[in-house]
Amino acid sequence: MNTLQEEPPRSTPVKRPPLVWVISILYFISAGTYFLSLALIFSGAASIDAQSQYFQSLTVLDHAVAFVAVALNLLGAVFLLLLKKPAFWLFLAAFGIDTATVIYQIIAKHWLDANEGPNLAISVITFCISIGVILYSKRLVGKGILK
């Protein structure tokens, strides 16, 4: 009779790639600035004269959809930090919602008027970063880092 019990093999912990930290922190800060901006605008502490027509055209549904997209990105960042596979799907869903929202707002609202010059450049850069994050998280899934 063998009195020694065999220990189950221990899985070696996966070290978080540095880019996971960078992306997560970026998305945490981004969500924080989104919520802070809304609080400042709704409280009247921030003036949005240049964008007032656009902002006034937004409905409760527009704000709700934006909130959902920010929440999905925030959850994606949390899951990415935890090295969990849903991060990819959350980032992808948020990107889909953001893209559909921008297309809708270009057609139905005054999005391009409110987002010209530097604001438009920031929107394009954000779009490209989102694509990069989605591709990176997909690569981490493929490598088995996100489980």
123 within domain boundaries? yes
Q: What is the DSSP letter of 2?
A: -
108 within domain boundaries? yes
The pLDDT of residue 126 is 92
47 within domain boundaries? no
100-114 average pLDDT score: 85
Whether the pLDDT of residue 25 is over 80: the answer is yes
| The pTM of the whole model exceeds 0.85 | no
64 within domain boundaries? yes
Show Cβ contacts of residue 81 under 8 Å, excluding neighbours closer than 6 positions: 16, 20, 21, 24
62 within domain boundaries? yes
Share of the chain above pLDDT 70, in %: 86
**Residue 4 is encoded by which pair of tokens?**
């020694």
Whether the pLDDT of residue 105 is over 70: the answer is yes
Comparing CA positions, the residue from 126, 141, 125 lying closest to residue 90 is: 141
The residue whose two tokens read 């969500």 is 31
Domain span at 66: 18-41+52-142
CA distance 82 to 61: 31
Whether the pLDDT of residue 117 is over 90: the answer is no
**40-80 residue pLDDT tens:** 877 777 666 656 677 777 889 998 999 999 999 999 999 99
Which has more confidence, 33 or 1?
33
2 within domain boundaries? no
70 within domain boundaries? yes
Which has more confidence, 105 or 136?
136
11 within domain boundaries? no
**Residue 86 is encoded by which pair of tokens?**
């849903």
122-133 average pLDDT score: 94
Number of domains the chain is built from: 1
The pLDDT of residue 26 is 94
Indicate if the alpha-carbon torsion angle 130, 134, 139, 145 is positive or negative: positive
Show Cβ contacts of residue 34 under 8 Å, excluding neighbours closer than 6 positions: 66, 70
Amino acid identity of residue 2, one-letter, is: N
The pLDDT of residue 19 is 95
